[in-house]
Each structure stands twice: as structure tokens, then as C-alpha cells.
Structure 1
């Protein structure tokens, strides 16, 4: 994600959080939001700090739900630790296999499903089609380059795992959800 996309004006931040521009300015002055000033004196809010503040202040359900399917238990713990460290307003769930994932999705639809790309017995184009119809994004962990015909609609997370790539993708998803909510 480029530096330009990681920053928000005070007005954009205020709109997303449903508060006044002055409240955003005060939160910056109090150190609750990270920001810097342009040469013209305008504040630019760091998106990550806005997500962190939202997480700390949030009394309502998480902004996004992530379902991890058939991932190694230690890898899932890493994902949990990263999301907690980044203070993202996200709820993580773990399914041991595809059947359990389907049952969990019936109870509560996630916004993102994350799994290994080489799942045996999974018809990837059909899975992608079904998830897309239900407005669920798919993130696949893969050591090789993705299939070109599928790469547009899938979030490809390369192995070895790069936390910064995962963080950038989660930020995009969270901000899309935040904009939908405002």
C-alpha cells in the first residue's frame, strides 16, 4: 500500500468515525491518533492509528470477521497475535476443515476466508464463485505464483508468510467495511 493511501485528511477520518473534524484534531493533540502536518498546516491521519483507536473505543461488534480454515495451529496463533498487536477491530475464528467452515459460515458469515491454496478436494473456481456471490473475500496462502485467471478476485498471501502484506490486505478490507458502515 502506498504512503498516499495510508493517510487520511481530518475530514475523511471524522466522516469514517462519525465525529466532528474538531474531535479528530483534539484526538491528534491528545496523542490518540497518529498524524503529521503538511507544509500548509493540514493534518494527515495515519490509517493504522485510526483502526487502533476504533478498536479501543469500539463497544459494538467487530468491523470484520475472518475465518481461518485448516491452518496449522501455530500459524493461527500467529495470525491472532498479529491482529491483537495491530489493534484491528476483527474477530478471528478457526475451522479445522471445510465442513466445519461451512457450518460456521451458516451461523455467522465472515467477510474474509483464509486458507492454504493447495486444499485437497477443493474446486477453487467454484469456491471463489460461491464466496463472491455471498460477498465474502478469499485469501489463499501460496508459495507459488497464483493462477492468472483466478488472481483478480483472490487475496494471494505469499509463503513464506509476510506479516506486512497480510496487514496491508487487512487494512484495505477494514477500511472498505468502515466506509460501508458510514
Structure 2
């Protein structure tokens, strides 16, 4: 994947558009386009004033190759929608994703569950409405879990997002890949759903405490 092109001199043979125009063409939010650019899904360059400009060819390629001709961005699979604590699960192994769906849907907790199988889909969801918790594998085709975590931690709006990394990697291998910051919770595969459920319950308890404190003030 090509990363963000930051040259101040665009190709004169190209037609460029703004991020807002790209968002309108792709039928996604402006935030989604910005995330796609940072992840390298869309090519872009920056003007002297710091504004992004996207080659129209890059936008058209995304429409044709990643969404299918005439189709809108893929809709995520939402299993439940109770109250407003949202959990996004990113897993590219189909069998594992099915296990997540079956197990987590049975928890009967006040959470909204969204399941996606690619970083592309995850960035659509995050761009439209950031979740309260992201559960992601570290080995994912294309832009892997390490890169999406780095992307989110470098974003001023999304850096406080709760993240759980699920992986079969050992601590040494994780360090060789650059490591993970201390606030990232790591669960080893095969994942313990009892532990994962306990983590989500702790997040819910923290949310309740914060809401209570807000009401008291």
C-alpha cells in the first residue's frame, strides 16, 4: 500500500479533489477519508497551506477495486444495539470471526457489537462513528494490527480509544515488530472469552462511574 504522498508539487496531468469532495463521491464521512489517507488506502498530497488534495484516479480506483462498481462501502455486521457502549471486532479469519459473533452475542450485556474482517472496513466504521473499544488481531492481511494501532494512537481524536490486541505472537516477537504501548491490553490466542468478557465488564463499570461523576458535577 502506498503511504501518504506529501509532495507540494502535484502531477500536472492529474485531476485533484478535496477530501470533502472525495467523501461525497465515496458516500462516507470526511473523517473516514482522512483515515483512509493516513492508512495509505487513498493517495494524497498536501498544499503549502497543509490542505490535502487527492488524485481523482485514486478515488475512482477505490470505488472500482475496493467497493465494486456502483456499490457503496460495505456495511458492517452489527449483532446487537443496546445503549451506547460500542465494540468493534477486527478479525480476518472467518472461523474466528464466527466464534466472536456467537460467543459475544450470548453475553447479554448492554453493548453494540460490530464485526469486520478487514482494516478497510474497520476504518469505515471508525471514521463514521468511533467505537468505545477495538478488539483486533495483530496479524491481518494488508495493513496489519500494528499499523492500525499506530494510526489510531497518532490521531488526536482517536488516541484515547480502548484497544485490545489478540495475537498468537510471543512477547519477544511483538517487541521485534516495534512493541505495543503499555495501555494496549494483549490477550494471547486462543483467546479466553471469559477474560475478554471481564475486560468489557470493567469498561462498562468505568463508563458508569464516569457518567455518575458527570451527573454529580
Q: TM-score, normalised by structure 1?
A: 0.57
Pairwise CA distance, 1:173: 1.2
Work out which of the residue numbers 92, 97, 105 in structure 2 matches 1:76. Answer: 97
Residues 132/99 of structure 1: CA separation in 2 closer, same or farther (3 Å cut) = same
Residues 164/181 of structure 1: CA separation in 2 closer, same or farther (3 Å cut) = same
Residues 67/121 of structure 1: CA separation in 2 closer, same or farther (3 Å cut) = same
Distance in 1 (CA, whole Å) between partners of 2:126 and 2:208 is 21
1:168 is matched with: 198
2:150 is matched with: 126
More helix by share: 1
Structure ID, larger Rg: 2
Residues 92/130 of structure 1: CA separation in 2 closer, same or farther (3 Å cut) = farther
Distance in 2 (CA, whole Å) between partners of 1:91 and 1:158 is 24
Distance in 2 (CA, whole Å) between partners of 1:78 and 1:132 is 33
CA RMSD of aligned residues (A): 2.6
Number of equivalent positions: 123
Structure 1 stretches lacking a partner, 5+ long: 1-59
Pairwise CA distance, 1:144: 2.6
1:150 is matched with: 180
Contact 1:131 1:137 (8 Å CA) reproduced: no
Q: TM-score, normalised by structure 2?
A: 0.49
Residues 107/92 of structure 1: CA separation in 2 closer, same or farther (3 Å cut) = same
Distance in 2 (CA, whole Å) between partners of 1:73 and 1:131 is 29
Distance in 2 (CA, whole Å) between partners of 1:131 and 1:90 is 25
For the residue of structure 1 that corresponds to 2:207, the secondary structure is helix
